[in-house]
Amino acid sequence: MAAAESLAKLSIDGDGFPENLRKNLSVLSPQQVELAKMLIEMEQSHLFKQWPEPGVEDDEKRAFFDQIERLNSSYPGGLASYIRTARELLADSKAGKNPFDGFTPSVPSGEVLTFGDDNFVQYEEAGVREARKAAFVLVAGGLGERLGYNGIKVALPSESVAGTCFLQYYIESILALQDASCRLVQGNCPAEIPLVIMTSDDTHSRTVDLLESNAYFGMKPTQVKLLKQEKVACLIDNDAHLALEPNNKYRIQTKPHGHGDVHSLLYSSGLLSKWHDAGLRWVLFFQDTNGLLFKGIPASLGVSATKWYHVNSLAVPRKAKEAIGGITRLTHKDGRTMVINVEYNQLDPLLRATGHPDGDVNSETGYSPFPGNINQLIFELGPYMGELTRTKGSIKEFVNPKYKDSSKTAFKSSTRLECMMQDYPKTLPPSARVGFTAMDTWLAYAPVKNNPEDAAKVPKGNPYHSATSGEMAIYRANSLILRKAGVKVGDPVLDTFNEQEVEVWPRIVWKPRWAITFAEVKSKVRGNNTVTDRSTLAIKGRDIVLEDLSLDGALLVDAVDGAEVKVSGSVRNKGWVVEKVNHKDTSVPEEVRIRGFKFNKIEQLEKSFGEAGKFELKP
């Protein structure tokens, strides 16, 4: 029976409704009755089996439909569309259908960068010039529970020297790009670069509190827009019956839909049109706990502008079969092509099934020829708007049910549809210009996503992706950048924290306003500078120059804009000592425990310059 005919049989008097629901129609609004018709048409009558007589728990019944309305309005096409899509995908899952059936993989074209060479510097300059035409989108819907941290992930300190949290680092980096871009074009620049933060029910209020309590970390509140992601309904079987909460017959069980929702939220917000009208050209997407990502963004944006990429995926070298998706060109036997992230557990069998008997293997470079996706994406705004107008922001979904047995008829627990923001290119036409920008892992990728126990189980030689490794990666990157700029930086030592062996480099940090590109670093490092392996260096000012500095200890320099400070001479003190912390020691704050170390600040030279002028710091 056609849907319209079925709905016609469900009269406002209750004909065709299950008895428990029919008796309660009088307590519902006309809009809620329409939602009830939709649920019955979609074979969801089980939701009402335990409903009592009218007059009993009527407020809870209306609250049930309030939730149904939210689920219906927040999903492109409504809840009926969600259920129909779920049935199709669950049928494919039960049948074991390969989502890439008919496709042959190959290595896509892209730009592979070498940090610090002329090509890299040129792309960086081009990217800084384009930054004034960019908007940034931070996908930050998750809590830090998986890390062993009870706050929101963006509030977690990215490093312990300056104590800069991830959100502060991101905002200060965007502001530094904004200033650098305006200086390049000498005033032909908008007043502010927009930042959108996608939150969730779990993170929204705490993200607002973090911003407001820190005066938006120097960004104008008008620059920041929060878009809250809604969850989607859970499913209990292959027929896509909706799941009720175990202890509440008036509440649908829900789970996160995935970060692919960022596209539908941007589409429905109207922001894309505003940005386009304001002359913006680029949208940059990034995730919440990578303390290195802005070191690669200027050059990657330069690649997008130079190559005219509609979609540019930032990538790093990946070992064959490493647990990170590979950027892959897929060609269908009917002629269709797309450049897309293919998850590591799908790439190897796909290669084996298409004439590569060894599957995903390393090339002569020691890495897989398929670069690793790190989920930092750059889209050209115009084509992106056009595509979202066509799709309403919906992204190809997938379902991953956990079956009780090989019959695939029952689930171990409820499941739901999911979507990923990097799957956006799946619906693009072959004419779309989709590429990648690859650079060294040490420069661009050190996510913090594993707790100490899980990180300690990672096979030796594989990345830990923990708070320990993430912080040490920042010190390593800054040390290597200074080395490339001509500073003699001490070699790292190996040490173990939270059962993770890591390289401990000199603890070097700087604010993004000091240097957002390698060219800026080189311009502020002059003469012969040395930093020993046990040293700590924190630079917190735009106009600070290192000239013939010899550092063996701890040095912290802070200067306001306009205070030109030359730091030179010999600095010797007892410095900061790295001390181990047991991650099970509950007397220590969570953000310290999950790192497995803290700094004993024995002695340092600390100097602040609070007014404009020319100064010299020379002990």
Q: Cα–Cα distance between 610 and 542 in angstroms, integer?
A: 13
In this predicted structure, the answer to whether residue 13 has a pLDDT above a threshold of 50 is: no
| pLDDT tens profile 443-471 | 999 999 999 999 999 888 889 999 999 99
Which of 165, 178, 267 lies closest to 209 in space, CA to CA? 165
Q: Cα–Cα distance between 180 and 211 in angstroms, integer?
A: 24
Provide the phi-psi class of 465: left if phi over 0, else alpha when psi is between -120 and 50, else beta. Answer: left
- Residue 12: per-residue pLDDT: 43
93-449 has CATH 3.90.550.10 classification: yes
In this predicted structure, the answer to whether residue 131 has a pLDDT above a threshold of 70 is: yes
- Residue 15: per-residue pLDDT: 57
User: φ and ψ at 184, to 5 degrees?
Assistant: -65, -40
Q: Cα–Cα distance between 169 and 159 in angstroms, integer?
A: 10
In this predicted structure, the answer to whether residue 9 has a pLDDT above a threshold of 80 is: no
Q: Cα–Cα distance between 293 and 496 in angstroms, integer?
A: 25
| pLDDT tens profile 328-369 | 999 999 888 889 999 888 898 899 989 889 899 999 988 999
In this predicted structure, the answer to whether residue 541 has a pLDDT above a threshold of 50 is: yes
454-617 has CATH 2.40.50 classification: no
- Range 586-614 average pLDDT: 96
- Residue 5: per-residue pLDDT: 41
Q: Two tokens at 430?
A: 């072959």
Angle 297-307/118-130 helices, nearest 10 degrees? 80
In this predicted structure, the answer to whether residue 553 has a pLDDT above a threshold of 90 is: yes
- Residue 330: per-residue pLDDT: 93
Q: Cα–Cα distance between 535 and 548 in angstroms, integer?
A: 16
Confidence of residue 188 (pLDDT cuts 50, 70, 90): low
Confidence of residue 500 (pLDDT cuts 50, 70, 90): very high
Q: Helix or strand or coil: residue 279?
A: coil
Q: Mean pLDDT in the chain? A: 93
Which of 271, 128, 273, 263 lies closest to 194 in space, CA to CA? 271
Angle 166-185/204-213 helices, nearest 10 degrees? 60
| Beta bridge mates, 412 | none
Q: Cα–Cα distance between 489 and 480 in angstroms, integer?
A: 8
| pLDDT tens profile 395-452 | 889 999 999 998 898 899 999 999 999 999 988 988 899 999 999 999 999 999 999 9
- Residue 141: per-residue pLDDT: 76
Confidence of residue 492 (pLDDT cuts 50, 70, 90): very high
- Residue 4: per-residue pLDDT: 37
pTM of this prediction?
Answer: 0.92
Domain chopping of the chain, boundaries: 1-74, 93-449, 454-617
Q: Helix or strand or coil: residue 13?
A: coil
Sign of CA dihedral 112, 115, 121, 124: positive
Cα angle at 123 between 558 and 300, to 5 degrees?
Answer: 85
Which of 512, 445, 544, 443 lies closest to 171 in space, CA to CA? 512
Confidence of residue 190 (pLDDT cuts 50, 70, 90): low
Choose between 184 and 8: higher pLDDT.
184
Single-letter amino acid code for the residue at 350: L
Q: Two tokens at 485?
A: 């700029």
| Beta bridge mates, 616 | 566
Percentage of the chain exceeding pLDDT 90: 81
Instruction: Give exposure, 594-619, as e/b (b: 16+ Cβ within 10 Å).
Output: bbbbbbeeeebbeeebeeeeebebee
- Range 292-320 average pLDDT: 96
Q: Two tokens at 47?
A: 């939701």
Cα dihedral 314/318/320/321 (nearest 10): -70
| pLDDT tens profile 206-264 | 999 999 999 999 999 999 999 999 999 999 999 999 999 999 999 999 999 999 999 99
- List, in order, residues 6 or more apart from 34 with CB less than 8 Å away: none
In this predicted structure, the answer to whether residue 10 has a pLDDT above a threshold of 60 is: no
Q: Cα–Cα distance between 566 and 617 in angstroms, integer?
A: 6
- Residue located via tokens 């809590």: 143
DSSP-assigned letter for residue 459: P
Q: Two tokens at 190?
A: 């908008």
